[in-house]
Amino acid sequence: EAGVTQSPTHLIKTRGQQVTLRCSPISGHTSVYWYQQALGLGLQFLLWYDEGEERNRGNFPPRFSGRQFPNYSSELNVNALELEDSALYLCASSLDPGTGFEQYFGPGTRLTVT
């Protein structure tokens, strides 16, 4: 069974640009989560999507947004990039809530903002 996949693996952008990261969940999983792992800040929750709807949002500015498609894949968009957005962005997926809640993570997208 294929795991969570993310693309691209690495990305280099300039401050002020926009970026889109993509995530495909494990087959059968309907929930997708996004986390940011920035140096010195640890792992922080960004967004949770389930059945195409945004269910919860972490303490991030509105320039971080996303969506979930009918096939449950997801995109994370970051507008007006800032230097501090440089981080590893991790996507995770899980089955419906109520099934133990374990989240399975993808390999991440390493974003560097210069």
Partner 1 sequence: AQSVTQLGSHVSVSEGALVLLRCNYSSSVPPYLFWYVQYPNQGLQLLLKYTSAATLVKGINGFEAEFKKSETSFHLTKPSAHMSDAAEYFCAVSEGFGNEKLTFGTGTRLTIIP
Q: Is 70 in the site for partner 1 (CB under 8 A)?
A: no
Cα(36)–Cα(30) distance, integer angstroms: 20
- 62 three-class SS: coil
x-or-dash string of contact with partner 1, 84-103, rule CB under 8 A: ------x-x-x--xx-xxxx
d(CA 68, CA 19): 16
Asked if 60 interacts with partner 1 (CB under 8 A), we say no
Beta-ladder partners of 92: 33, 105
Residues within the interface to partner 1 (CB under 8 A): 4, 31, 33, 35, 42-45, 48, 55-56, 58, 90, 92, 94, 97-98, 100-108
